[in-house]
Amino acid sequence: MININPKTAIFFDLDDTLFCEHDYVRSGFHAVADYLQKIDNQLDSSTLYEYMLEDWVKNGRGKIFNHLIEEFSVPVEPMNLVQVYREHTPQLSLYSDTDRVVKLLVEKDIPRGLITDGEKGVQWRKIEALGLKQRFPYIIVTDELGKDCWKPSAVPFERAKDLLRGEVQSFIYIGDNPHKDFFTAKKMGFHTIRIIRKTGDHMLTRLSPEYEADEMIESLDELTVNLD
């Protein structure tokens, strides 16, 4: 168990830490499929959606929309579909353990925040869809600070410390991606925790110790709040 107290500020990554990023991908595919059916009612949104899912499994995300346009002879540019994908209002839900732990942190008034990479409009729509804006007093979307401020930049972690400097004694950061989540955070004095979910882009990634977190967990339920 990892103890948290009111003198500890806990910051979380978002994607694949608090919710399943693959749910966002599927939500985006639905939005694209519906958009294309509206353009051409001869197209079936369910067929388009299933095609994108299959292509994603086979080839990854990189060229899905190019393949879709070619396969179905759709008269749009790939960037039009990228825009639909990025600007859609996603249908998302938190992991069940996230919801339980966040409720506890709110109830006990534990200082808490988010540090998340990604295009700012996309990330804010995720945050809104998940109802996190009302539950996290401190939200740092790194894209708002500049592209060069995405993790592993020190800037968002320094911003987090500035927001609570003098109010807490220690900081925790919980994320899932060892390529960027822990190396800098550890250097800046954060205690780092890696959550390894059953689904995610980085669940099988293992790097050298300097890039890995101080601790690993499989559920946020492994966190406990200590008010002493």
Domain end point (choices 56, 71, 87): 87
Q: What pairing do the DSSP bridges indicate for beta strands 223-225 and 191-195?
A: unpaired
Identify whether residues 104 and 50 lie together within a single domain.
no
Identify whether residues 205 and 166 lie together within a single domain.
yes
Identify whether residues 113 and 161 lie together within a single domain.
yes
pLDDT at 55: 97
Identify whether residues 139 and 189 lie together within a single domain.
yes
Identify whether residues 102 and 59 lie together within a single domain.
no
Neighbour count for residue 17 (Cβ, 10 Å): 24
Q: CA-to-CA distance for 228 and 176, rounded, in angstroms?
A: 29
Identify whether residues 146 and 207 lie together within a single domain.
yes
Identify whether residues 125 and 36 lie together within a single domain.
no
Identify whether residues 57 and 126 lie together within a single domain.
no
pLDDT at 224: 81
Q: What is the CATH number of the domain that holds 218?
A: 3.40.50.1000
Domain hosting 74: range is: 22-87
Identify whether residues 160 and 59 lie together within a single domain.
no
Question: pLDDT tens string for the chain (228 positions)?
Answer: 677 888 999 999 999 999 999 999 999 999 999 999 999 989 999 999 999 999 999 998 889 999 999 999 998 999 999 999 999 999 999 999 999 999 999 999 999 999 999 999 999 999 999 999 999 999 999 999 999 999 999 999 999 999 999 999 999 999 999 999 999 999 999 999 999 998 888 888 899 999 999 999 999 999 887 765
Identify whether residues 80 and 112 lie together within a single domain.
no
Measured distance between the N- and C-terminal CA atoms of the chain, rounded to whole angstroms: 16
For residue 187, what are the CA distances in angstroms to 141, 153, 179, 214, 228?
Answer: 21, 11, 14, 12, 28
Domain count, the chain: 2
Instruction: Give the side-chain half-sphere CA count within 13 A for 169.
Output: 4
Identify whether residues 113 and 15 lie together within a single domain.
yes
